[in-house]
Amino acid sequence: MVISPLQKFRYSYQPKLPAVLAGNIDSITPQKGNATSAKSDERELKALFPNTYGLPTISFVRSDKTGRPGPLNIGVILSGGQAPGGHNVICGLYDAMTKADPASILYGFLGGPSGLTDDKYTVLDGETIDRYRNTGGFDIIGSGRTKLETEEQFEKARAVCHAHNINGIVIIGGDDSNTNAAVLAEYFASKGEKITVVGCPKTIDGDLKNEQIEASFGFDTATKVFAELIGNIERDANSAKKYWHFIRLMGRSASHIALECALQTQPNVCLIGEEVSAKKMGLAEVAEVIVDSVVRRAEKGMNFGVALIPEGIIEFIPEVGELIDVLNDLMAAKADELAAIDDPAGKAAYVRGLLDEKKGQLFDTFPESIRQQLVMDRDPHGNVQVSLIETEKLLAQLVKKRLAALKKEGKYNGKFSSLCHFFGYEGRCSFPSNFDADYCYSLGYNAYLLVCGGFSGYLSSVTALSRPASEWKAGGVPITMMMNLENRKGHLKPVIRKALVDLDGAPFKALAANREKWAVETCYTFPGAIQYAGPSEVCDRTTATLALEHGETF
């Protein structure tokens, strides 16, 4: 296998650990905090998780206590979409468990949660681990999106754990994947099993966070990759001076990625779905935000610009969000009928016939391509696959149409040509930034300590992330405290609450304070490529979001 010079260089990088995790692993001890509770649906969640609800938070500290429980067998699962740093979580887990006892065994279950239920695994040894240190991707064991929700699945997982004498399972994933962890932990506890289940917070979307989880891993790297690409396009736009670039950014439901990239690159327009929802903006009003910038820049002779669009924005437009909710329910109720229709246009026509007059009229306003995208097969959770809806093209068409009307009225005399882009997969498997390499390694190392302590149903938590890595704090938080009930395929299901952009938070306020200027002037900034070596302020810098949330400047 050919190995690039950068890959060789990254192999040699030693991730930084919080001071509490560095040094003698036998002198790390847990401290229990206060009992916890969910912010909503408390009674229902307590009934669903009688054995794992209300657990205390955990923090790790140094003490004189020594000794570990002997060798442990631990299984690890990568779940959901890829995010830079996943390999380092596994590396940190492996290093911690073998440092504590070299006889410990790490089972890597293949292809996601189904690897556990189907008993498909590989034993991860030091030689294998060394080939994946500080690299992107999930290819060490692969990933999957299997939902663990039936007793048959739980019993299969239980039998597999017994067959290999597994003491703990570490699930590396996002909100739905860590819901799997919570449900599996509850099932094992209900059966009196001493198999510990621990989660690790992963998603480039940035929406798995709260007071205890300051950031999901992968967000730092992905936004730096996207910001580099956006900066390159901004430089091109300012050089050619003839295109408006509409850039849709991955992020599913929340707009964290778009917001972070805007703070790094200062585009002319950055739409924030949460603001659109709060202001109850219609589709035409959203397009008008871009139209306003196009017109005002054209008055200054600048017929070019850059607009950032979060991929999930279409769900935040109230009228469209309501339509999508109806479509989700119809798609679930009429799944068999729709499966029998092969033609995308035929599916769209069939669904159109099921809509009431008001929603049918809205459905008709979309171009045919968008109508077909709205009735595509749903994701495993029953939701529209927003990453397949080309919102950037829809908005570009609406802006062009509106500008033509303004030109007829003598209110616009510029030229408008658009180019559309979607940035998503480009950022999911990059070499992790130093921040993500350090953070993920710490999460894995910390996960071992949670398994070692028998803290089942917990999420590995590393905080104080805006500080140098040596000052980070480590511990665990009960997954149930982050949960609420959501409608999934017509049924209320316990899931981890998604963190949306806080319109009263410092990151959004920083955007709001500058966007009027950015809309008219050319204020582009160019982050460039991720740096892995050099001054700490260059290679170890965090995101603007994290810095601003901690009251720091960026």
Beta bridge partners of 478: 458
Catalytic residue among 95, 205, 220, 436: 205
Summarize pLDDT for 471-484 with one digit per residue, the tens.
999 999 999 999 99
In this prediction, residues 191-212 reach a mean pLDDT of 95
- CATH hierarchy code of domain 222-427+504-549: 3.40.50.460
Is the confidence at residue 490, as pLDDT, over 90?
no
The larger pLDDT score, comparing residue 327 to residue 457, is at: 457
In degrees, rounded to 5, the angle at the alpha carbon of residue 192 between the alpha carbons of residues 187 and 197 is 50
Is the confidence at residue 84, as pLDDT, over 70?
yes
In this structure, whether the domain defined by 35-58+70-218+432-480 belongs to CATH 3.40.50.300 is answered with: no
CATH 3.40.50.460 residue ranges in the chain?
Answer: 222-427+504-549
Q: Is 205 a catalytic residue?
A: yes
Strands 244-249 and 305-310: parallel
Of 360-364, 383-387, 512-516, which range is least confident?
383-387
Amino acid at 470: S
Is the confidence at residue 496, as pLDDT, over 70?
yes
**Alpha helix positions (H), 353-496:** 357-365, 368-374, 391-408, 434-452
In this prediction, residues 197-208 reach a mean pLDDT of 97
Interhelix angle 283-299/391-408, rounded to 10 degrees, is 60
Distance CA 524, CA 518 (A): 8
pLDDT for position 23: 87
The full length of the chain comes to 554
pLDDT for position 520: 98
Of 6-10, 183-187, 317-321, 445-449, which range is least confident?
317-321
pLDDT for position 382: 65
In this prediction, residues 226-248 reach a mean pLDDT of 98
CATH 3.40.50.450 residue ranges in the chain?
Answer: 35-58+70-218+432-480
The pTM assigned to this predicted structure is 0.93
pLDDT for position 380: 65
Maximum mean pLDDT: which of 51-65, 118-132, 364-378: 118-132
CA proximity to 472, closest of 542, 539, 533, 530: 542
Report CA torsion sign: 402, 408, 412, 413.
Answer: positive
In this prediction, residues 170-197 reach a mean pLDDT of 96
DSSP character at residue 144: B
pLDDT for position 104: 98
Tokens of 473: 């704090």
In degrees, rounded to 5, the angle at the alpha carbon of residue 143 between the alpha carbons of residues 135 and 158 is 125
Strands 196-201 and 458-463: parallel
Amino acid at 32: K
**To which H or E segment does residue 333 belong?**
helix 318-333
